Chain A
Amino acid sequence: NAGVTQTPKFRILKIGQSMTLQCTQDMNHNYMYWYRQDPGMGLKLIYYSVGAGITDKGEVPNGYNVSRSTTEDFPLRLELAAPSQTSVYFCASSYSFATNEKLFFGSGTQLSVL
């Protein structure tokens, strides 16, 4: 049981380049999330999904896009990379939105935009 798997672990982009961060989970969770974590800051929600075909914006969605074609996969797309998108990105999943529901996190992607 792999849990939440993210790829790549590290990536350096030039300004204006595009890339997709991959995320897949094998726990059959309906709920998936993308967070970013800047140094010394808390996790900020970028986008989330409550099931295949359903996505919605979080707190900091600008510059990102997502899709959810299957229950397992929730890729995050950066179209025109900017230095402000330098961060560590975490994908997470949960079984529900219940009050005691824990988040299962992937190992993270460290992205630098230069």
Chain B
Amino acid sequence: QKEVEQNSGPLSVPEGAIASLNCTYSDRGSQSFFWYRQYSGKSPELIMFIYSNGDKEDGRFTAQLNKASQYVSLLIRDSQPSDSATYLCAGGEGNKLTFGTGTQLKVEL
């Protein structure tokens, strides 16, 4: 059974701080990893994907992948109240994509 595990949270951070979201996966064959943001009552939307070891930056977001440790993370710099949402980690491709249960992030004023 392929698994993607996340801490459900909530993770609370003050506005302007760095939020760190973590994810571990069991399938060493997974090549790609995705971070989707899901606002309450809405559909998931892609924030970032990563498939190479190391860091990938896009604006305030940085995804990190460590295949040896089977670990993926998402850093959000200068967190804003609008970042408050559930963040879903997913690993794999196409019909083999496995989602984690999501981490709820709350950015407090």
Chain A interface residues (CB < 8 Å from chain B): 31, 33, 40-45, 48, 56, 58, 90, 94, 96-103, 105-108
Give residues 64-109 of B contacting A (CB, 8 Å). Answer: 88, 90, 93-95, 97-102
Chain B interface residues (CB < 8 Å from chain A): 4, 8, 31-32, 34, 36, 42-46, 49, 51, 88, 90, 93-95, 97-102
Nearest 7 A/B pairs, CB to CB: A97-B94, A42-B99, A105-B43, A43-B99, A99-B32, A102-B46, A42-B101
B93 to chain A: which residues have CB within 8 Å? 97-99, 101
Min Cβ gap B29→A in Å is 12
B95 to chain A: which residues have CB within 8 Å? 33, 45, 48, 56, 58, 97
> Does the CB pair A40–B8 fall under 8 Å?
yes
Which residue of A31, A40, A100 is within 8 Å of B49 (Cβ)?
A100
- Interface of chain A, main secondary structure: loop
Closest chain A residue to B1, Cβ basis:
A59
> Does the CB pair A105–B45 fall under 8 Å?
yes
Bound complex: CA of A100 vs CA of B97, how far in Å?
11
Which residue of B43, B45, B51, B98 is within 8 Å of A100 (Cβ)?
B51
Bound complex: CA of A114 vs CA of B19, how far in Å?
40
